[in-house]
């Protein structure tokens, strides 16, 4: 079972992509804004991992426009983040890849690669651009907004039957982002964001991420598995469904280069066989 939001967000969200630990969730209901954000930030910085997921873009909702199978190789630490997103399917887009790098508070940079030899550099001005035509921007899969300087609890709200703390995150001086603020509706009992909204300017959000499914692992972890990412400006929804997660990987600097984009390296499963 995949253990992420990417997270997509990171990433995320991601993507990229959020990672959670039940021990860290203890007493989370009484945390201050800074402490809650710090736990969420720390849990993202989990070192090296490999992810497989399905991504469907519906524009308008209910009308499939793009269907992709992706693999993600990432290395996230408190000081830096390196991620590679590669398309495995459909065949005509196989090998198309994006490499993103971020160090400290510096702006993210990267490369978009299309086989056999076309590469395009990505800079801070590109972080608002779409990842593979989805409703995720590059910023969504590389940024860790829980590490921003300004963290404030701005209220409580029910998401379904869960009472969530609403955490507002804003970048501080010198912290580069396309967003002016991000709000997270956090289930503090399970330490899981059930909704995230992102703002380019004060007022209406431009992007909303909803957690559709949370599962509980044998070790007690609560894992957001399936997500919807909605671009509120164009009435489009990207569905993200995780299918594989592996932390038994080790990546080096050479694994996050332009040359690395030119080869698809699949993770090994725990028994040593290639991941399917």
The CATH number of residue 233's host domain is 2.50.20.10
Q: What are residue 155's DSSP bridge partners?
A: 166
Number of Cβ within a 10 Å radius of residue 157: 14
Which burial class, exposed, middle or buried, applies to 174 when counting CB atoms under 10 A from its CB (0-12, 13-18, 19+)?
exposed
pLDDT of 217 above 90: no
- How confident is the model over 20-45, as a mean pLDDT? 70
C-alpha–C-alpha distance, residues 61 and 131, integer Å: 18
124 found inside a domain = yes
266 found inside a domain = no
Phi then psi dihedrals of residue 264, to 5 deg: -95, 115
Q: Of 14 and 177, which is predicted with more confidence?
A: 177
273 found inside a domain = no
Q: What are residue 69's DSSP bridge partners?
A: 54, 89
267 found inside a domain = no
C-alpha–C-alpha distance, residues 229 and 273, integer Å: 32
Structure tokens at 189: 């009992």
User: Running DSSP on this structure, what letter comes out for residue 28?
Assistant: G
pLDDT of 251 above 50: yes
Secondary structure class of 189 (helix, strand, coil) = coil
226 found inside a domain = yes
Contact 236, 208 (CB under 8 A): no
268 found inside a domain = no
- How confident is the model over 171-191, as a mean pLDDT? 94
C-alpha–C-alpha distance, residues 15 and 8, integer Å: 1
159 found inside a domain = yes
Structure tokens at 119: 């590469």
Of the pLDDT bands very low, low, confident and very high (cuts 50, 70, 90), residue 218 is low
Contact 198, 205 (CB under 8 A): yes
Structure tokens at 178: 């396309």
- How confident is the model over 234-242, as a mean pLDDT? 93
Give the angle subtended at the CA of 71 by the CAs of 69 and 77, to the nearest 5°.
Answer: 145
pLDDT tens string 102-143: 999 999 999 999 999 999 999 999 999 999 999 999 999 999
Number of Cβ within a 10 Å radius of residue 43: 16
pLDDT of 16 above 80: no
For the whole prediction, is pTM greater than 0.75? Answer: yes
Closest CA to 263 of 120, 113, 141: 113
pLDDT of 28 above 80: no
Containing domain of residue 100, as a range? 8-261
Number of Cβ within a 10 Å radius of residue 140: 34
In degrees to the nearest 10, what's the CA dihedral of 205, 207, 229, 115? 180
pLDDT of the residue at 221:
61
User: Running DSSP on this structure, what letter comes out for residue 38?
Assistant: H
As for how many domains the chain has, the answer is 1
C-alpha–C-alpha distance, residues 167 and 212, integer Å: 19
Closest CA to 265 of 44, 14, 52, 110: 52
Contact 55, 132 (CB under 8 A): yes
78 found inside a domain = yes
Placement of tokens 């090296």 in the chain:
48
């Amino acid at each position: 079972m995949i253990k992420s939001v990417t997270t997509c967000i990171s990433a995320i969200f991601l993507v990229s992509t959020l990672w959670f630990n039940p021990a860290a969730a203890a007493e989370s209901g009484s945390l201050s804004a800074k402490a809650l954000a710090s736990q969420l930030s720390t849990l993202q910085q989990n070192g090296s991992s490999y992810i497989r997921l399905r991504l469907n873009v519906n524009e308008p909702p209910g009308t499939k426009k793009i269907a992709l199978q992706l693999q993600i190789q990432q290395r996230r630490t408190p000081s830096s983040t390196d991620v590679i997103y590669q398309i495995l399917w459909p065949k005509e887009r196989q090998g198309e890849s994006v490499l993103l790098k971020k160090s400290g508070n510096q702006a993210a940079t990267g490369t978009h690669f299309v086989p056999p030899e076309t590469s395009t550099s990505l800079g801070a001005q590109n972080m608002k651009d779409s990842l593979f035509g989805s409703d995720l921007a590059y910023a969504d899969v590389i940024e860790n907004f829980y590490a921003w300087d300004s963290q404030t609890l701005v209220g409580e709200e029910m998401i379904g039957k869960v009472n969530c703390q609403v955490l507002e995150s804003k970048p501080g001086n010198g912290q580069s982002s396309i967003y002016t603020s991000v709000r997270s509706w956090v289930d503090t009992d399970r330490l899981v964001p059930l909704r995230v909204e992102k703002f380019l300017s004060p007022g209406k959000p431009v992007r909303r991420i909803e957690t559709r499914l949370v599962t509980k692992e044998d070790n007690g972890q609560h894992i957001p598995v399936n997500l919807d990412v909605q671009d509120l400006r164009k009435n489009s929804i990207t569905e993200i469904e995780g299918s594989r997660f592996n932390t038994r990987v080790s990546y080096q600097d050479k694994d996050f280069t332009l040359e690395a984009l030119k080869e698809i390296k699949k993770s090994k499963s725990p028994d040593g066989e290639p991941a399917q």
